[in-house]
Amino acid sequence: MLRLDIRTKIIILLTISTSTFIVNTLWIEVLCVIILSGMQLAFGKKVFSKWLVFAYVILFFAQCTLLPLMPTVVEAALSVIVVQFRSMIPLLMGILMIVRTTKVNELIATMTKMKIPKPATITLAVTLRYFPAIVEEWSHIREAMRLRPIASTQKSIPKKIAVNVECYLVPLFIAASKTADELTAAALTRGIENPTQRTCRGYHQISRIDIFIIILCVIIIFTAGIAKVMSLC
């Protein structure tokens, strides 16, 4: 099973952001999706974002095959939506990979060794733990909605949508607020604000695979930059 340092994962995320939003080259974007899919499979099946890959393939073929067949006005309107959603998918894949494969103690240990300011370390540690907690709350809300089919009692479709939105979002917002308070209290209880020097049991040195992936990221950014300059010329 693949294991990467948190610094390598951050470099991967920066590479994806640069190549998809700043450089905005389609073939580089496709290459990033392929590399991310392979890395996620190397981490394990639970990390692989199959639905995001499926959505990217659908949007890619829709842009290449379906949109050119539509009228010009419709193509211009839909292409903006398709391109924006498609370019967001590689970034979402990178974020999900970091959230699913990074432990909080490893993040804190690495950032402590890097002399990162403590407020930034605390913010990232709480954020990293926050997303899985919200996903867990969402699954609990969905299971509760299955037990009590409230929306099915409504006859009109707009009322069904309104009831579903209310029944899902209101508990989710309340749970999100409580989760944030609980995570903050848990971090304070574990002494995250302790001014003394912390031990770093979760710290790992950069391995050869980390160096290889960092070099690959540099090559991708360099190649994407050259392609962007040549296209402008």
DSSP structural state of residue 198:
P
Q: Residue 89 has which token pair? A: 């998918």
Q: What is the pLDDT of residues 46-77, one digit of tens each?
A: 788 888 889 888 888 888 888 778 787 877 77
Q: Residue 27 has which token pair? A: 């073939």
What's the predicted TM-score (pTM) here?
A: 0.74
pLDDT of residue 202: 58
d(CA 56, CA 33): 9
pLDDT of residue 206: 79
Give the least confident one: 46-55, 60-69, 143-152, 196-205: 196-205
pLDDT higher than threshold 70 for residue 150? no
What average pLDDT is seen over the chain? 78
> Which residues have a Cβ under 8 Å from the Cβ of 217 and sit 6 or more positions away?
11, 12, 14, 15
| Burial of 40 (C-beta count, 10 Å sphere; 0-12/13-18/19+) | buried
d(CA 148, CA 6): 42
Report yes or no: 96 and 186 within 8 Å, Cβ to Cβ: no
d(CA 153, CA 196): 59
pLDDT of residue 99: 82
d(CA 216, CA 212): 6
pLDDT of residue 198: 61
pLDDT of residue 108: 75
pLDDT of residue 192: 64
